[in-house]
Chains A and B, each alone.
Chain A
């Protein structure tokens, strides 16, 4: 049943993404100042927004694991962190490509990209330390602690990189100031939804893998106990 739900969600996500990409590449005009490269925003910004969503889900599930000791929450945490890290990497790569085209450099240490890089490093620590802990309860507990520490650092990172001596070349936010042209708003929103659906499907696949791994580990322990 869960596998069917995953397939249906993945198929729906793929259809929405294909539809949206078709709209972005064939229906929308080139932007006045940036030309065709502005289209990267329909991948770049949804990736960042969805990464934040999944890191927040990871925080909540980490707290729930510590409170309930239910390993399902640990599986949710690791799945959300992995997908969030992947989305953050996508955001960084697409941002670099856009920056090379617009600013002439692959990396400019501007405010937003630096913040995203710091997020990526924080959660890379989580992903690196987790496999190094063999005992499952310890692994789940330590991972949850690391996830909470990492998330608590994000607002501090954002505060730190806004200090007076940091350069800010990045374009201003388009959602709050409303400077996104009307014809771009629907594809932008659909892009966010499509990426959310794809990421959710990936989280479900990963949850299934974690559940299977726990079953294998328990069978292995049972075998060794005999």
Chain B
């Protein structure tokens, strides 16, 4: 079994476990819906102002839900020394990391797919125009969140107050990704395309994903095998 096959096996294992219990998905989706409701009380804006902040609102919701999903990544392997067993297996450390990141990615995409129509409903935002571009931006930014989140999930697996420390580490690093995602999403909701001024944030998303995927894959061995 090569590394990619091992990564896919680990991703399938995590996805199968999660889809049977639906613990993380239910919790993250419910949390996302609660945040959407809370924001609706916080802001009382006209249509134009709402469109101006729509991308920011949506990505705040997604990033909060993402932190819940990635927090479970390596933490679920701690009971019964499952993490030690995985590390002792022939699968390389980067395959273990990629598998966890891929499963977190799919779970977060599911939560985002549930939240997006609700977001459109509550805030009266038309999100179906430019749907292809919107999906591209969501997938790119979600991969960035899950890659960095899974890496920090591995870093904080044995840290005291893990659930508190993970967001403290995660959100500052995600700032450039979220700025890019918020900007492009707001533009797409407003009827613009990904050309012209909106190409720069898209390049930022791609650059962020490339840099942090490479960094995480290279450094994860130091994190897991201390």
Contacts and interface: CB of A to CB of B under 8 A. Distances in A.
Interface of A: 66, 118, 121-122, 124-125, 128-129, 132-135, 137-138, 141-142, 144-146, 148-150, 152-153, 156-157, 159-161, 163-165
B165 interface: yes
B180 A145 contact: no
Interface string B186-217: 00000000000100110010011001100100
B83 interface: no
Given A125-B169, A129-B168, A133-B158, A66 B222 contact: yes
B151 interface: yes
Interface residues of B, number: 34
Of A66, A134, A159, most B-chain CB atoms within 10 Å: A159
Determine chain B's interface SS by DSSP, over half rule: helix
Contacts of B197: 164
B155 A146 contact: yes
A129 B156 contact: yes
Determine chain A's interface SS by DSSP, over half rule: helix
A124 B219 CA distance: 21
Contacts of B165: 128-129, 132
Interface string B119-154: 000000000000000000000000000001001100
18 contacts: A125-B168, A128-B168, A129-B155, A129-B165, A129-B168, A135-B226, A138-B226, A141-B226, A142-B156, A144-B222, A145-B223, A153-B176, A156-B177, A157-B175, A159-B207, A163-B200, A163-B201, A165-B183
A26 B161 CA distance: 52
Contacts of A146: 155, 169
A153 B172 contact: yes
Nearest to A162: B200
A156 B165 CA distance: 22
B8 to A, nearest CB: 25
A145 B173 CA distance: 13
Contact of B169 (A118, A129, A141, A148): A129
A63 to B, nearest CB: 10
B4 interface: no
Contacts of B155: 129, 142, 145-146
Contact of B176 (A125, A141, A159): A159
B176 to A, nearest CB: 4
Given A118-B175, A156-B211, A145 B219 contact: yes
B159 interface: yes
B178 to A, nearest CB: 9
Nearest to B203: A159
A148 B218 CA distance: 12
A128 B180 CA distance: 27
Contacts of B171: 121
A150 B173 contact: yes
A107 B162 CA distance: 32
Given A125-B172, A133-B158, A163 B179 contact: yes
A120 to B, nearest CB: 9
B189 to A, nearest CB: 14
